[in-house]
Amino acid sequence: MGDSTRVQSACAEPSGAVWLLSNNRLFRGFNGEWTRPKIDGLPTLHGELLGVSCAPDGALWIVGDQDGVWRLTLGGNRMEAGQIQLPPEFRPLAPLAILADHRGWVWLGTDSGLLVWNGRNWRHLTQETGLIWNDVNQGALREGPDGSIWVGTSGGVGHMLHPERIFDSVPVAVSITEIRHGGTLYTGAEQIVLPWPGTPLHFQVASSAMRNRSELNIRIRMVGLHNDWIDSQNGIATFTSLPPGNYTFMTMAMNAGLNAYSIPIKVGVRILPPWWKTWWFYSLCALAFLLLLFVASQLFARHLKQRAKDLERLVSLRTQELEASREQLRIQATHDGLTGLLNRVAALSALNAEMDRAVRERRTLVVALADLDNFKRINDTHGHLAGDEALRKFAAAVLAAIRVYDHAGRYGGEEFLLIVNEIPQEATEQRLTSLHASITNLPVSALGREFTITCSMGATVFDPADGPRSVESLLAYADVALYEAKAAGRNRVVYSKSARLDHDDEYPGN
């Protein structure tokens, strides 16, 4: 191999063969002879391979910071590669280390905890589940002779004595801690009856689960008002004014890191009809009608006209209240609660729509990924509250820099997706430079501390004239440009004029 070869990681097969990972290349040593098998099915890598692990079944597992997790099987002098897809909620994590234990389970050390796969399900282990620190070091995963797992992190070395219990069922419970209507509290109620119209109806929902608390998600639903579940970050649900009728409030808790769901709980809600829709009121109206016939037909007609106007006004008011309530729920479902920008799902939906419109109108579309530089250092140095303030400051700068018909969303963590419309292709680079200048070098003041945040931006352009493109390929190319911006020193924008991803036929270096 040569004296200058730097080994990133190594492992030994059950047969005694040794594998070395060096400069994105794999070397196999057996009986004093070193070979480098060809690899089929592995595309061009955009990042660096960081870890290799030999599985008991003879397979080889590799992991990279930008290219995911791959399983390699050896046949003769060639290897066949197959990628293991992470669940969507774990894809923002950056894998740094890998271990295939004697059970055949795969352990991934990331910059935000430990991922475990048993061939069917995933588990996410963090400090909340007992990990000594979230940032796992590169290559710092080992299995002990007794089957226990050793984990090296930036905060020290952790020892997992009973890893076989990781996939044990974890109960997740949810409870309604408070139901409030005006000044009245309903404790432990399974059915409540309220007058109409009334003050807003508040529900407070909580879960006692402590493991993976940050990945706990509470879902709410008011059957009879809307059919879909709505995610609530704080467990608070407020209904400003429900129409008369019967409803069922439902809530449940789910935890993606534990693959656990609670049993939904329900509370019946009955909104009484207004007084003018009760039987006794109809009886009075009938009596009044008979009496008014004897008094004067003109006065009775005038009364009916006035009553009709009152009802129309009430219906109009109720319609406005319902529209306001639906708009509030829509904003909660499509916007990020911390930054106020579009959430990931809404931002990708906007990108889909803008790409379709760009095809119809035969114009270009600029897509950019912006990432705060050294955001982890801000959290570690100034605290997570300061990190939240930095995200809000950055989001406000983005909203001020883009136009009303552009889009901006929180793509994940400290990464943001920007969609810029109606920019001539020859002016794209100038526009991106101006946009980057408006959202970088921002002063932040939080908790009595002051610091400056910068961002790196990777951008590409979608031109329908180049042929059809998918959202995934467009984002992948922008992500490559973002990686180049960070590799070039951060705090800059890298713009690529072509949105075509090129793939080499062979693995780099083979």
pLDDT of residue 335: 92
510 lies in some domain = no
Domain's final residue, options 165, 196, 225: 165
Instruction: Name which of 47, 147, 52 is nearest 98 in CA terms.
Output: 52
Q: Is residue 153 part of a domain?
A: yes
Both 182 and 160 in one domain: the answer is: no
The answer for 10, left when phi > 0, alpha when psi is -120 to 50, beta otherwise, is beta
Report the alpha-carbon distance of residue 471 to residue 365 in Å, rounded.
Answer: 12
Q: Which residues contact 4 (CB under 8 A, 6 or more apart)?
A: none
How far is the C-alpha of 107 from the C-alpha of 100, rounded, in Å?
6
Over the Cα atoms of the chain, what is R_g?
A: 30
Quick check: 46 pLDDT over 80? no
**Does 485 lie in the same domain as 350?**
yes
Shared-domain flag, residues 325 and 348:
no
Q: pLDDT band for position 45 (50/70/90)?
A: confident
* In-domain check, residue 91: yes
Q: Checking DSSP bridges between strand 415-421 and strand 365-372, what pairing results, if any?
A: antiparallel
Q: Helix or strand or coil: residue 383?
A: coil
Greatest mean pLDDT among 168-182, 333-347, 492-506: 333-347
Residues 181 and 298 both lie in one domain: no
Burial class (CB in 10 A: 0-12, 13-18, 19+), 494: buried
pLDDT level of residue 498 (50, 70, 90 thresholds): low
Alpha-carbon gap, residue 25 to 36, rounded angstroms = 8
What is the rounded CA–CA span in Å between residue 203 and residue 250? 10
pLDDT of residue 4: 55
Same domain, 354 and 387: yes
Q: What is the mean pLDDT of residues 228-240?
A: 87
Q: What is 270-290 written as a DSSP string? A: EEPPPGGGSHHHHHHHHHHHH
Check whether 66 has a pLDDT greater than 80. Answer: no
Same structural domain for residues 61 and 138?
A: yes
Condensed to tens digits (0 to 9), the pLDDT of residues 331-362 reads 788 899 999 999 999 999 999 999 999 999 99
Degrees to nearest 5, angle at CA 415 with 411 and 420: 70
Both 256 and 291 in one domain: the answer is: no
In a domain, 250, yes or no: yes
* Per-residue pLDDT band at 91 (split at 50, 70, 90): confident
Kindly tell me if the per-residue pLDDT of 94 is higher than 90. no
Model confidence at 273, pLDDT cuts 50, 70, 90, reads: confident
The letter for the amino acid at 195 is: P
Are residues 121 and 98 located together in one domain of the fold?
Answer: yes
CA distance 308 to 37: 85
- 269 is a domain residue: yes
- Extract long-range pairs of 22-31: CB within 8 Å, 24+ residues apart: 23/509, 24/48, 24/49, 24/507, 24/508, 24/509, 25/509, 25/510, 26/52, 26/60, 26/62, 26/72, 26/79, 27/1, 28/74
The span from the CA of 372 to the CA of 4, in Å, is 36
In a domain, 207, yes or no: yes
Q: Which amino acid is at 131?
A: L
Can you give the pLDDT at residue 277? 76
Same domain, 81 and 179: no
Which one of 250, 273, 296 terminates a domain?
Answer: 273
- CB atoms near residue 140 (< 10 Å): 18
- DSSP per-residue letters across 223-245: ETT-SS-EEESS-EEEES-PPSE
Residues contacting residue 49 through CB under 8 Å, at least 6 positions apart: 8, 21, 24, 62, 63, 64, 67
Task: Give backbone dihedrals phi and psi of 363, rounded to 5 degrees, phi first.
Answer: -135, 170
- Containing structural domain, residue 286: 280-330
Q: Would you state the pLDDT for residue 501?
A: 43
- pLDDT at 504 > cutoff 50: no
Q: Among 297, 330, 363, which residue terminates a domain?
A: 330
**67, 46 in Cβ contact below 8 A?**
yes
Confidence at 210, pLDDT banded by 50, 70, 90 = low
**506 assigned to some structural domain:** no
Q: Are residues 148 and 224 in the same domain?
A: no
For residues 491 and 455, the answer to whether their CB atoms sit within 8 Å is: yes
Chain position carrying tokens 């935000």: 112
Residue 349 has what pLDDT?
95
Confidence of residue 500 (pLDDT cuts 50, 70, 90): very low
Q: What's 375's domain CATH number?
A: 3.30.70.270
The residue-averaged pLDDT of 380-395 equals 93
Beta strands in 31-127 (DSSP E): 33-35, 38-40, 49-54, 60-64, 68-75, 78-84, 95-100, 106-110, 113-117, 122-125
Quick one: angle between helices 279-295 and 297-334, nearest 10?
A: 150
Ordered DSSP codes for 333-379: HHB-TTT-SB-HHHHHHHHHHHHHHHHHHT--EEEEEEEETTHHHHH
If you search the block for the tokens 């990133």, which residue do you land on?
8
Choice between 444 and 277, residue whose per-residue pLDDT is larger: 444
List the 156-160 sheet strands across, edge first: 136-143, 149-153, 156-160
Contact predicate 221/205, CB 8 Å = no
Pairing outcome for strands 191-194 and 265-271: parallel
Mean pLDDT estimate for the chain: 86
Domain presence at residue 338: no
Residue 386 is predicted with a pLDDT of 92
Task: State the residue for tokens 């109206």.
Answer: 285
What is the residue whose two structure tokens read 């930036």?
154
Residues 246, 99 within the same domain: no
pTM here is: 0.45
Give percent above pLDDT 90 in the chain: 36
Note whether 299 and 256 are same-domain residues.
no
Residue 311 CB-half CA count within 13 A? 10
Is the pLDDT score of 482 beyond 50? yes
The whole-number average pLDDT for the span 393-407 is: 94
Domain CATH code at residue 199: 2.60.40.10
Q: Mean pLDDT: which of 124-133, 183-192, 340-349, 418-427 is highest?
A: 340-349
Beta-carbon neighbour count of residue 407 at 10 Å? 21
* Domain tally, the chain: 4
Q: Are 391 and 471 in contact (CB under 8 A)?
A: no
Beta strands in 182-271 (DSSP E): 184-185, 191-194, 201-206, 216-223, 230-232, 236-239, 245-255, 260-261, 265-271
CA dihedral 344, 345, 351, 357 (to 10 degrees): -160
